[in-house]
Structure 1
């Protein structure tokens, strides 16, 4: 009987330790950016997230792995002429490089609900490591009875490191502020 109870306990521990897959709720998720224009004002924009998943076996998400894909052709800055220019070879070259991706490699907790997430950002055909601040907004259960987790990520990158844009920094800043928010639904 003791062996049976031990086997059941071990199996239940194994089940709870398995990574759970979470899928993004696209209608409640966004990848935004801002850049300084002419050294005096901010231009904000966004890309549509086309695919994003997270896996995690821990309730505090300290083992989470994120994979995010955004469509460069969806860039939106509320100015059609600028959006067309951003899609051109002068900036993102969306015809040649239609997606940007982030694949996390590690996550570390720095405070309650605050993390550093490191991974590879691929944009304009170039992959480089980045570290972003990540905040767990919380978890809840949606109307369908599924568990939902909300996150916000932010950080800065230098666009020229990815070969994005030939404009001088006095016209278009080199530092780009990234902001992402997303709801992930557990499968």
Structure 2
């Protein structure tokens, strides 16, 4: 039994030794959302302050561990009054729940560079499992600074009601929230 335990410990230590850390290139990244207002028009918003960290040993990223955090107080919809309302207790309650978070559980290749990303999304103090679509490009080497980059496009839909995010009727603000995240990750040296 001791040999098996020692072997397992050495195996997992060697696998994690090859894992690469990746950080977000904030200048080339965006975390956005869309809701429908009055069943008529789409309203876009974004989180201006967010971060992503990833660890992966496989070149196709199927073993990736992804952690995203966003500052709810950085919400921006191009309307100061609406931004304040979204931060209030009527929606995100940023004073009580200042952070939105996503932690991946698995990522599986669908075909080519298309993947399914599964994980836990936490908003408004509620954590729910979500499945998102992802397109991963790269890795490539930046010809200017020689750093290794990977590109990600992640999209999906969640329901406001699942996260108790506002009691405004769906006829006024849709229950469905479309999430879009795009960005570049830089491999640490």
Pairwise CA distance, 1:52: 1.1
Any stretches of 5+ residues in structure 2 without a counterpart?
A: 1-13
Given that 1:17 and 1:58 are in contact with CA atoms closer than 8 Å, whether structure 2 keeps it comes out as no
**Bigger mean CA deviation after superposition, 138-147 or 72-81:** 138-147
Which portions of structure 1, spanning 4 or more consecutive aligned residues, are displaced by more than 3 angstroms? 14-17
2:162 is the counterpart of 1:166:
no
Q: TM-score, normalised by structure 1?
A: 0.89
1:115-130 matches, cutoff 5 A: 115-130=115-130
Partner of 1:148: 149
Deviations 1:34-81 (CA, angstroms, capped at 9, x unpaired): 001000110000002432111111111111111000111011111111
Q: TM-score, normalised by structure 2?
A: 0.88
SS in 2 for 1:144: coil
Cα distance in 1 for residues equivalent to 2:162 and 2:186:
34
Cα distance in 2 for residues equivalent to 1:30 and 1:159:
21
SS in 1 for 2:27: helix
SS in 2 for 1:119: strand
Deviations 1:83-108 (CA, angstroms, capped at 9, x unpaired): 01000000000111111000000011
Aligned pairs, number: 174
Pairwise CA distance, 1:138: 2.6
Cα distance in 2 for residues equivalent to 1:172 and 1:181:
24
